[in-house]
A and B are shown apart, each in its own frame.
Chain A
Amino acid sequence: MDLFVSQLLNGLVYGLLLFLLASGLSLIFGLMGVVNLAHGSFFMLGAFIGLSVVSYTGSFWWALVLAPIPVAIAAAAIEILLLRHLYKRDKVDMVLLTFGLSFVFTDLVEWGWGKDTFSLSEPASLEESLEFLGGYFPQYRLAIVVFGLAVALLLWLLIEKTRIGAMVRAGIDDTRTAMGIGLNVPLLLTTTFASGAALAGMAGVVAGPILGVYSGVDVEVLIPAFIVIVIGGMGSLKGAFVGSLLIGIADTFGKAYMPEASMFLIYAAMIVILLARPHGLFGQAAS
């Protein structure tokens, strides 16, 4: 039984890391219709900036707070300078643009930090392991579970209970009407895009001690994040949350009990869900 709980926790850790990435990706898609292939790059950029902040300040916490800022600024600049001009064009143009940007970010990271794999150490206060139901569980991973759940709760409150959230939801449901009733949609788009990127950047720092920091990590996290939002339903926060936990837990149990088929399990789950619910578990048909 304790092993089941331990594996469940392992799955939660991975799932909540995915959620930090998938939530932004999903909201951006819902609001802007952009399949943002550069979203993994924001994750990677956050991780590398975090690495540099740790080497200057020696503190993981500073990295967690500071790294998302330049990522958000970069994202805002991309939205204002590039994406904005493509909203009226075919969606494929935007996808291609973000695809191209992901290569630019990979090159930038390799140019700035090199192609090596770096390790980001967990904060010293969370280095130990907790004795737990007859086994051990690393404190840092428990902290990720708490942090991830807190972020999920805050995001939910923000979207469902605040005025800003109401504006975002209005934008997702019907952009044109939202503009018609006087919402500043361009500002909303920039803010959402930048916030999603900041969240991804923060996820990069949080995941650093577990996944490592290297160029190429962007693609490795982006693919499961896409599976998550396809399963959960594009544009739905609830969908991103449920989808992340499903994938995290399925992947973990798959690795432990059916290692040869663990990748297949995830894709099989995606196919089944898509056949039963083409718009994902919590998605709506496109308006």
Chain B
Amino acid sequence: MSKTKIFAPSRRAVLQGTAAATALSFDATLARVFAQTSGPIKIGVLNTFTKSVGLFGETTWRGIETYLEEHGNKIGGRSVELIKEDDEFNPQVGLQKLRKLVESDKVHVVLGPLGSHIATAMIGYMKQSGTPWIVTGAGSTALTKERMPNMYRATLSNWQVANPMGTWEAKNGIKDVVVIASDFLAGHDVAEAFAEAFEKNGGKIAKQVFPPVGTNDFSAYITDLRSINPGAVYGFFAGSEAGRFVKQFQQFGLKGKVKLTGFQSMLDSDTFPLQGSSAVGGLSSSIYCETLDTPENKNLIARYASKSKDLPGIFTESGYTVMRIIDDAVKSVGGNIENAADFCKAIGKTNIVAPRGPVRFDPDTHQAIQNVYIREVHEEGGKFVNKVIDVVKEVGDYPGNKA
């Protein structure tokens, strides 16, 4: 089930390239560099394109395509070949597809995956292979503790997003919270990071519940929530689970009684179509907000409009921004992405203003340092959007990950 999309250079471009190569051939050094760096840049996109979170893979992919279309399908002056693989949100499948990308497709850089359990399973192999790897999606706090030279995380760390929200809620009048999070790595990361900050700032965690992954019917948990009646619920769900939780939260009449707050994936433009008006008023923290009023974000929105009637969500922005990061790094090494070590160092020097705001990398853990936005869901002319109500500037990696 792999789909390959090739942004092949036109015949004329190839002819010009050949002519240029001929012209340069008297210079041995240059010719060698050219031979080494000819052909398209191969980017392996390992993500989840099916199952309950398949939506996020698709929207990441659309972000990648949006960037390439904006830049004439070229990165650092070279054409691009994207190789798309679906890990089915399963580490075994993910590893298999990763081997295929690295060994048989010989990609220059791997993007993804979405699932932290898959990212964790990839660590050993990627350490050995040394292939440049930019994580997009997987948020496991411990991932950057590895401090691998060839791995950068261009997206969020669970701690980075959940911890500031704990502080913010405690400082904004919420006294007690029930935490309800999907029972897997990310859910526990997020619950822990939120609770730590919330309690440190004087809040009280009334209860923590971890429904199994794939729970569709939350009625028992929501009825229990009603009996505790806390100031707020802090939730971590993604994809169709987020859709159902928020909808059932309203159906059981808790909206308006208990404040709905959560991790970004619970109240994001990707999930609004499933949630409708039940999401309105919900608060979440995120590294991105689709209504940010900056030229970079307006540009992304305008370009994305041709792909989707929805506004870009965090994964679309991630796909778009990671291509910008690669583009800059390839340019700064003169197109020579084949030199993995130099390419990785160049990624580390990233200093851009992305649609989400300023992005650079922690020199030690390679985690992106970025703004965290506190957002509220609004309805505007029949559409649902997040609006920024507060910003925590330039949040870095979990301090415990540093050397």
Interface residues in chain A, defined as those with a beta carbon under 8 Å from any beta carbon in chain B: 3, 6-7, 10-11, 13-14, 114-117, 119, 129, 131, 135-138, 141, 210-212, 214, 220, 251-253, 255-257, 259, 263
- Collect the chain A residues with CB atoms within 8 Å of residue B51's CB: 115-117, 214
Contact B88 A119 (CB under 8 A): no
Most chain A beta-carbon contacts within 10 A, residue among B51, B211, B248: B51
Q: Closest residue of chain B to A211, judged by CB? A: B216
Question: In the complex the two chains form, is A135's CB within 8 Å of B252's CB?
Answer: yes
1/0 per residue, CB under 8 A from A, across B369-396: the answer is: 0000000000000000000000000000
Tell whether A117 pairs with B240 under 8 Å between CB atoms, given A129-B251, A135-B252, A212-B216.
yes
Choose among A114, A117, A136, A252 the residue with the greatest number of B CB atoms under 10 Å from its CB: A117
CB distance B224 to A135 under 8 Å?
Answer: no
Report the separation of the CA atoms of residues A3 and B244 in the bound assembly, to the nearest whole angstrom.
21
Task: Tell whether, in the assembled complex, residue B50 and residue A129 are in contact, meaning their CB atoms are under 8 Å apart.
Answer: no
Chain B contacts for A10, CB-based, 8 A: 219-220, 223
Q: Which residue of B lies closest to A255 (CB)?
A: B220
> Can you pick out 14 interface pairs between chain A and chain B where the beta carbons lie within 8 Å of each other?
A10-B220, A11-B220, A13-B219, A117-B51, A117-B239, A119-B244, A119-B274, A135-B226, A136-B252, A211-B216, A214-B52, A220-B214, A252-B219, A255-B224
Q: Is B184 an interface residue (CB 8 A)?
A: no
* B interface residues, how many (CB within 8 angstroms): 29
Given contacts A115-B51, A129-B253, contact A211 B223 (CB under 8 A): no
List B contacts of A114 (CB < 8 A).
50
**Complex-state Cα separation, A254 to B221, whole angstroms:** 10
Interface residues of B (CB under 8 A from A): 50-52, 54-55, 88, 209-212, 214, 216-217, 219-221, 223-224, 226-227, 239-240, 243-244, 248, 251-253, 274
Determine if A210 and B253 form an interchain contact, defined as CB atoms under 8 angstroms apart: no
Interface centre among B55, B217, B226, B240 (most CB of A within 10 A): B217
Identify which of B209, B223, B240, B274 contacts A6 (C-beta below 8 A): B223
Complex CA distance for A136 and B214, rounded to whole angstroms: 25
Shortest CB-to-CB span from A83 to chain B, Å, is 31
Complex Cα–Cα for A245 and B253 (A): 25
Which residues of chain B are near A115, meaning CB under 8 Å?
50-51, 54, 88
A6 to B224, CA, bound (A): 10
Interface majority SS (helix, strand, loop, mixed), chain B: helix
Output the nearest chain A residue to B86 by Cβ-Cβ distance: A115
Does B252 lie within 8 Å of A210, measured CB to CB?
Answer: no
A284, chain B: closest CB distance, angstroms: 34
**Nearest chain B CB to A139 CB, angstrom units:** 9
Q: Which residue of A lies closest to B51 (CB)?
A: A115
Residue of B nearest to A119 (CB): B274
Which A residues lie within 8 Å of B212 (CB)? 263
Chain B positions within 8 Å of A135 at CB level: 223, 226, 252-253
Chain B residues closer than 8 Å to A3, beta-carbon distance? 223-224, 226-227
User: B317: shortest Cβ distance to chain A, in Å?
Assistant: 22
Q: Which residues of chain A are within 8 angstroms of B274 by Cβ–Cβ distance?
A: 119
What is the CA–CA distance of A135 and B253 in the complex, to the nearest angstrom?
A: 7
- Chain B nearest CB from A64 CB (Å) reads 19
- How far is B252's CA from A10's CA once the two chains are assembled, in angstroms? 11
Bound state CA distance, A135 and B214, in angstroms?
A: 27
Chain A residues in 8 Å Cβ range of B227: 3
Contact A259 B251 (CB under 8 A): no
Contact of A138 among B209, B210, B251 (CB under 8 A): B251
Chain A residue nearest to B239 in the complex (CB): A117
Contact: A211 with B217, CB < 8 Å? yes
For B224, list chain A residues within 8 Å (CB): 3, 7, 255-257
Chain B nearest CB, measured from A118 CB (Å): 8
Instruction: Write out the residue numbers on chain B whose beta carbons fall within 8 Å of the beta carbon of A252.
Output: 219-220
Sorted nearest first, the 6 A-B pairs with minimum C-beta distance are A136-B253, A115-B50, A255-B220, A138-B251, A10-B219, A256-B224
| A259 to B212 alpha-carbon distance, docked (Å) | 9
The 8 Å CB contact of A259, one of B211, B214, B240, B243, is B211
Cβ-closest chain A residue relative to B221 = A255
B239 contact set on A, CB distance < 8 A = 117
Known: A116-B50, A117-B239. A7 touches B216 (CB 8 A): no
Given contacts A14-B217, A211-B217, contact A256 B252 (CB under 8 A): no
Contact residue among B220, B226, B240 (Cβ-Cβ distance under 8 Å from A212): B240
Assess the B240–A119 pair: CB atoms within 8 A: yes
List 4 additional contacts besides A129-B252, A210-B217; criterion CB under 8 Å.
A13-B217, A114-B50, A211-B217, A212-B216
Residues of chain B within 8 A of A131, CB atoms compared:
253
For A7, A14, A114, A116, the residue with the greatest tally of chain B CB atoms inside 10 Å of its CB is: A116
Alpha-carbon gap, A83 to B244, bound state (A): 39
- Identity of the chain B residue whose Cβ is nearest the Cβ of A140 in the assembled complex: B251
Name the residue among A136, A137, A253 with the largest chain B CB count within 10 angstroms. A136
| Chain A residues within 8 Å of B226, by CB | 3, 6, 135
Instruction: Write the nearest CB–CB distance from A208 to chain B, whole angstroms.
Output: 10
A119 touches B220 (CB 8 A): no
Report B-chain residues with C-beta under 8 Å of the C-beta of A255. Answer: 211, 220-221, 224
A88 to B368 alpha-carbon distance, docked (Å): 66
Complex-state Cα separation, A211 to B219, whole angstroms:
11
Instruction: Say whether B221 contacts A256, CB under 8 Å.
Output: yes
In the complex the two chains form, what is the Cα distance from A157 to B62 in whole Å? Answer: 56
Chain B residue nearest to A3 (CB atoms) is B227
